Structure 1
Amino acid sequence: TALDIERCDLNIKDNHSNHHTELFGEERLIVRRGQPFSIALHLSPSSKEFKVGKTNFMFDVETGPLPGRESNTKVTFSSQASTVNTEWSASAATDASGRTVIVSISSSPKAPIGIYTLTLDQLGQKTSLGQFTLLFNAWCPDDAVYLKSEEKRKEYVLAQHGLVYRGSHKRIKGKPWNFGQFEPGILDICLKILDDNPKFLSDPNKDVSSRSNPIYVTRVFSAMINSNDDRGVLVGQWVEFSNGIHPGLWMGSGEILRQWAERGPVRYGQCWVFAAVACTVSRALGIPCRVVTNFGSAHDTNANLMIERLYDENGDRISGDDSIWNFHVWVDSWMTRPDLGSKFDGWQTSDPTPQEKSDDVEDLVKLSTGQFVTFSECTKSVGLFISTKAVGSNERRDITHQYKYPEGSKEEREVYERAHHRNVLLQRGEKLGLHLKIKLAENMIVGSSFEVYARLTNNCMDTKTCKLIFYARAVSYNGKLGELCGFSSDHLEVPSGQERRLSLKLEYQRYKTAITSDLLIQVSAITINKETVDFQKAEKTIVLDEPDIGIKLVGEARVNQPVTVKLTLLNSLPEPLLNCSFAIDGIGLTGGKPITAMVGTVGANEQAKARVVFKPTVAGSSVLLVNFDSDKLKNIKNVIDVVKYDPAKHWNSHSKPVGKKDPVIGHGEHDGHDVVVVVQLGIEKVISENTNSAARQACRLVEASLDGRAGADHRRERDLAEAAQ
């Protein structure tokens, strides 16, 4: 006789805690493969008893539209524990009452990810027990995405916000991004991306079966992030954005993914947006992922590991297909590579904005005879300061050594020569003759006018003469040159051991109409001596600084209580900004979508100001991301950490009032710095923008208002905290 099951409890809360999926919420069961999860089968009063070792039943798990045993999308296993840890298995026992059967189910660490149905089979009598979603498991040693370090798992799987690096290798800027992989509905959208990919549409069973392999899954969703050749998420655009959203306005992946699920391909994205959304999908599915920026990223159209940029003998650029992007952003995903061998296990690169990678640059001068010669000095600007956010902090980590061999090394030479290039690697080192460098100004904020200098030095015994051309052009982050915004030239005579300088004034009134929202200007200096057929070139990219957004929380942040944030930005331009607005976004802060405050027109050298109200929904730490937009200044971002408290859950009777404040939290100012004093369970915690001195003084002020027993506890806690610091 079969057991009479009254109901099945999926133990969502406990299972989520054990599987690091609690941030998904408790609406449905979400677990990671290769790790046990438990369910409780509550027997009806009339049911026969469950006897350990004697009562045996079977389970069926199925996933995909056409589940089958051959494709491993349908598996049957018994309640007798298996000794093979790579297979599905289960074990069962009863609780103390004997009326509840506790079943522990272990999925295979090689199972396809996705939504599964769970069915109990008792001698052909089948009972549906519900559904669960299975993800990759970076905590399981038998999973292909296993990552040993708990700190790295927190960063690359669980962290919902991070930094995406942009700018140039001389001026690297980290831009905040909300990945939001645990936000409501995002996991379902990520699974929908897999279901909408062309491979699934042509052969659903094969595609779902292949979802056991993180290599396959990563390739599929990486292709689906870009909508160029399928029904993907984002439309790429680099010039005109009137029919969509400017890529610089996005603050997180959630809004993009929701728009795609509702209306199809989202307009518009550029490389950092593609990569950030891909990172969200990867982390949601359980694959460790990081966003990587390469400064000086080459696009080599003829695959010879050389970028050829053509100039005529007057220094003017001749159009060509090869280009060097000021930066390019992709993602790395962590997994084993059984197809390549264990030495290739670890970080694997995928690029939702495909382009070839190169190692060197060759600038060619086309003479009037039709002959080509190279500039005397070749740049080393490709593949510099490859960057990602550090684990557990907002510091930048340089990972260039993980991608390329050192300049001039034996290994670099071998890679280069394997490309069958017509030359060997250029030998680095200073040659006799003229040498050209560009010196930039210290402060180059957008709206200001400033000077840059070309410096020409002569380290040989003879006097050298040449023509020096010095000019500036607007440039996009992808290397596309815009209008000329500055020009200077002169014929120079440089005696032995001396230098000459040529200045170039960059005025706002001239560059304002040329630059894009990337705020980049490329300055180039070229020396020309037609008699000796000697050419020199130097080049630098200016990243104009942007004004900072000031962020100040008014009071403390509490769950389900309105919080006001004051936002300010000084207009650095000598003319008004039109259509100004601030937008805020934060996981667990703004209800899953940005909140926008319109400001209107802001005069020259005046401040844009706004007060925005939001309501936190969950306790804990989060990040509030702020974006400023206007007709002339875009993609200006800043963040502030927000600690949200839930008085109903965290405070007890030992908490004492701080002055006239609520007994929970006191907020004030000490030495000009905001200090929040939190009294919790008889122990004060201090959150301060400042340093330990402000915190210690605040602690002493609080102690005076506490009773003796609580005060002693506080002093002990303070001493321990100070010793730890």
Structure 2
Amino acid sequence: MVVSVQESVYTTLKVQYVNLEQVQNQEQHKTQGLSSSSLVVRRGEPIKLSMFLNRPFRANRDELMLRVELDRLVNDIPIKLCKDSSPSRWTAYFQQASLGSCKISLYVVSPSNASVGKYQLQLLQTSSSGLSSFRLGQFVLLCNPWCPMDTVYMPDESQREEYVRNDIGMIYQGTAQNISVKPWGLDQYESGIVDICIMMLQLSNEHKQNWRSDYLKRSDPVYIGRVVSAMINSNDDCGVLLGNWSENYTGGVKPFDWTGSGDILKLWALSRFSPVKYGQCWVFAGVMCTVMRVLGIPTRVVTNFDSAHDTNGNLVIEEFYTETAKKLPCGKDSIWNFHVWVESWMKRADLGAGFDGWQVLDPTPQEKSGGVYRCGPAPVKAIRERMLGVPFDTPFIFAEVNADVCVCIVGQGQVLSYTTEQHRVGSLICTKSIGSAHPQDITTTYKFTTATPPRRSATTSSAQGLSVTLRLLKAPVMGENITFTVTITNTENIPKTVREYVNAQAKSYNRSPSETFWEAHNIILLAPLESKVLAHQISYNQYAQLGDGQLVNLATVVKDVASQQRVLASEEFNLTRPLIKIRIADEDSIMVQKKQTAMVTFTNPFPEPVSGVLTVVGAGLLEEKVISNVVFQTGESLETAVSFIPKISGVKMLHANLRLSNNPAVIQGFKTITVRSA
């Protein structure tokens, strides 16, 4: 049957098929690899749709509108015949070259301050028979650090790649003197993660209390940051993680056993949003970094070494030791050997341009902010400038990096001596370097200091007539003896008899030490102006049962028998754990969809046989975890072959974790891999 031209003009226009051009759009919007049930795009950037019609579009007769829906918020947009965009409103236009064809290209442009969320698109048509609609599809809209008009705009491409698109994280733990690196899979490209992050916003108390207000405020990364900070912990809502610092992790996963955000977020969703057990500060921060990067807000994980928790706000932390050098669990204030939070990059329109840039957000539940366990965003610039009236939670974070420490020796119910340390708190603040696993020192962005104190190998204290130096002879390594010296100097021109007390206690990073596991007492005779060096050794068997991530608090008190003058020197340190090695024969040949093999090797450094479970993970490389049971004799090496097929190009990471059954050490290793396109 032949249809006349005139007849085809009056045929009702119908959409037969819509192509959301996912590959092209996600490449244009820098969202390649983000996996969702919807198209994933960024605000302020045109979204291309290809519509297949039953006849060519006629501009003078066909009346079309585009409806954009964010749940119950509806926005009807006239479709223009030529390019039309505005940074402050939704626009839509046809591609000129496609007009007159049955395949027509439609572009939709969101404002650069549109709300983050999942949108529905409908095409509305007015004809003689009334108003009809056709569902075009749905998309997830994220913030856009590539758009100069967006409040999260970051001008440097290398920073955007690191703080938005990179899914490899490094979390720094231990002490400022001996940093340990924990690889962390951010996993934002894992299946379902985008949808879980959007659902997190839907489940927030803010959304439940006033859905309309929540949607409208989601244009602001400051608001989003506060919502996510609260939702990462489960203290006030159905948040992701339940914190646990009790060292009893029955019914859940030990915080040190987590290797990335993906497993945690998926478990939370699978459990119908019941809290995942268990988290500590670096777990909270790692998961928050994932969520913020998914939502398009540049974010990095930050470690503050010697982080103060100043409960009374006087910027002084008090520590107490006995006369025999045992540290006491006194007072509500504390210093964590390290504390981990995140920084997110955004403009602060609520404060002014002087506070734009990195903002501290801390999802670890410590103090309430606005009645909810969350913290930030607090401008790093405000912390540095001591502008403590700037919201949000600037005084709390300022105290974490700036408090003084008063160290007291006590006995018979009184303070026998004390010293004040002004530079210990916030001694080093660092984050992952761009394109590297090495820590970047960012201490001077938080506080005025001429330079970060150099890594010391000794601690020296002095009082009238005496000087004492505590020195580790080398960085302590798990499986080896701990060797150190105490040097006592008589600084007066008279002989002295002194007593030396040395005490070692196991310590978790966030609390006072537990009971003494090693000690030594000596009497020393010193000639006028004489120095004596006392060598000490703690054997592996004496500290072998230190728990996951535990450190050692080592202290010495030297007392002048005649004058009763006392001098304290102390050092807190972690033990370097043995590493798992990962190697690939030909790293230059790693390509998408090409099978590769990695060799995972571990040598037992302990003086006894060990056994355990070896787990290898790799987002974008391995579909499933590779798990194997292993047994090592003393000094034995074992090599395991792990095959993988990369799914997407870019820098990826293989991460190996060995959990021993008869030894508390957690042993890890990682290797970053550059995957080339096929």
TM-score when scaled to structure 2?
A: 0.84
State the distance in 2 between where 1:554 and 1:633 align.
32
Which residue does the alignment assign to 1:87? Answer: 89
State the match for 2:469 in structure 1. Answer: 437
SS across alignment from 1:481? coil
Name the residue aligned to 2:478: 446
| Residue 103 (structure 2) aligns with | 100
Alignment of 1:125-524 (within 5 A): 125-238=132-245, 239-263=247-271, 264-320=274-330, 321-355=332-366, 356=396, 357=400, 358-368=402-412, 370-372=413-415, 374-376=417-419, 378=421, 380-406=423-449, 433-442=465-474, 444-461=476-493, 463=495, 465-513=497-545, 515-524=546-555
Q: Which moved more, 1:384-393 or 1:522-531?
A: 522-531
Distance in 1 between residues matched to 2:198 and 2:184, nearest whole Å? 22
Question: Structure 1: which amino acid aligns with 2:190?
Answer: E
Show CA shifts across 1:541-567 (max 9, x none).
Answer: 222122221223367656545543322
Separation in structure 2 between the aligned mates of residue 341 and residue 645 of structure 1, nearest angstrom: 43
The one of 13, 19, 27 aligned to 1:17:
27
- For residues 604 and 180 of structure 2, what CA distance do their matches in structure 1 show? 20
Report the AA paired with residue 571 of structure 1.
N
Tell me if the contact between 1:49 and 1:99 (Cα under 8 Å) persists in the aligned partners: no
Match of 2:607 among 574, 577, 593: 574
Give, as a single letter, the amino acid of the residue that structure 2 aligns with 1:345.
Answer: D
CA pair 79-48 structure 1, distance change in 2 beyond 3 A: closer
> Whole-Å Cα distance in 2 between the matches of residues 22 and 406 of structure 1?
41
For residue 295 of structure 1, report the CA deviation from its aligned partner. Answer: 1.0
Contact 1:471 1:504 in 2 (8 A): no
Contact 1:4 1:48 in 2 (8 A): no
Q: Residues 182-214 of structure 1: CA distance to partner in whole angstroms, max 9, x if unpaired?
A: 221001111122122222222222222221111
For each residue in 1:597-647, what CA deviation from the matched residue of structure 2 results, as whole angstroms up to 9, or x when unmatched?
A: 221x3222222443333333345542211111112154322222335567x
* In structure 2, distance between residues paired with 1:619 and 1:140: 24
My pick for the range that moved more, 358-367 or 289-298, is 358-367
Note if 1:28 corresponds to 2:38: yes
The 1-side partners of 2:342 and 2:573 are apart by 26
Q: Distance in 2 between matches of 1:243 and 1:634?
A: 21
Change (3 A) 1:463 1:110: farther
1:114 to 113, 117, 120: 117
Aligned to 1:668: none
**Distance in 2 of aligned mates of 1:475 and 1:130:** 55
Give the deviation of 1:364 after TM superposition: 2.5
Helix, strand or coil: the match of 1:95? helix
Residue 391 of structure 1 aligns to a residue whose secondary structure is coil
Distance 2:17 2:158 in 1: 39
Match of 1:49 in 2: 58
Superposed CA RMSD: 2.7
**Partner secondary structure for residue 108 of structure 2:** strand
**SS of equivalent to 1:581:** strand
Q: What code does the residue aligned with 1:568 have? A: T
- Give the equivalent residue in structure 1 for 2:48: 38
SS class of match (2:138): strand
Partner of 1:75: 75
> Match of 1:24, SS?
coil
Deviation at 1:464, TM superposition (A): 5.2
The answer as to whether partners of 1:485 and 1:506 remain within 8 angstroms in 2 is no
Q: Quick one: distance in 2 between partners of 1:558 and 1:266?
A: 35
Query: What is the match of residue 393 of structure 2?
Result: none
Alignment check: 8 A CA contact 1:618 1:644 kept: yes
Aligned-residue offset at 1:535: 3.2
CA contact (8 A) 1:248 1:634 kept: no
Q: For 1:674-685, list aligned pairs within 5 A.
A: none
For residue 441 of structure 1, report the CA deviation from its aligned partner.
2.5
Q: How far is the alpha carbon of 1:496 from its aligned partner? A: 4.9
1:486–1:563 CA distance, 2 compared to 1 (3 A) = same
Displacement, 1:180? 1.2
* Separation in structure 2 between the aligned mates of residue 643 and residue 141 of structure 1, nearest angstrom: 30
Contact 1:249/1:634 (8 A) holds in 2:
no
* Cα distance, 1:388 vs structure 2: 0.5
Q: Provide closer, same or farther for how the CA distance between residues 104 and 431 of structure 1 changes in structure 2, counting only shifts above 3 A.
A: farther
- State the shift of 1:283 in Å: 0.4
Distance 2:564 2:450 in 1: 28
Q: Is the 8 A contact 1:446 1:519 kept in 2?
A: no
Counterpart of 1:24, as a letter, is L
Measure how far apart 1:397 and its partner are. 0.6
Q: Which runs of 5+ in 1 are unaligned?
A: 68-73, 410-427, 651-725
What does the per-residue CA deviation read over 1:276-307, in whole Å, with 9 as the maximum and x for residues that have no partner?
11100010110000000111111122111111
CA contact (8 A) 2:499 2:558 kept: yes
Deviations, residues 477-531 of structure 1 (Å, cap 9, x unaligned): 2134123222112234445543233333211222112x11215212111233587
Q: Distance in 2 between matches of 1:486 and 1:430?
A: 24
Change (3 A) 1:443 1:333: closer
- 1:359 is matched by which residue type in structure 2? A
Distance 1:301 1:620, change over 3 A: closer
Asked if 1 retains the 8 angstrom alpha-carbon contact of 2:328 and 2:512, the reply is: no
Distance change >3 Å, CA 335–CA 495, structure 1 → 2: farther
Opposite residue 253 of structure 1, the aligned amino acid is S
The 3 A distance-change label for structure 1 pair 56 and 373 is: farther
Aligned-partner residue type, residue 260 of structure 2: G
Q: Is this contact kept in 1: 2:36–2:191, CA < 8 A? A: no
Q: CA deviation at 1:237?
A: 2.2
In the alignment, which residue of structure 2 is the partner of 1:626?
Answer: 656
Q: Work out the CA distance in 2 between the residues paired with 1:197 and 1:380.
A: 40
1: distance between equivalents of 2:560 and 2:582? 54
Does the C-alpha gap of structure 1 residues 476 and 524 become closer, same or farther in structure 2, counting only changes over 3 Å? same
The amino acid across from 2:43 in the alignment is R
Aligned length: 614
Q: Is the 8 A contact 1:310 1:364 kept in 2?
A: yes
User: Letter of the aligned partner of 2:348 in structure 1?
Assistant: R
Identity %: 34
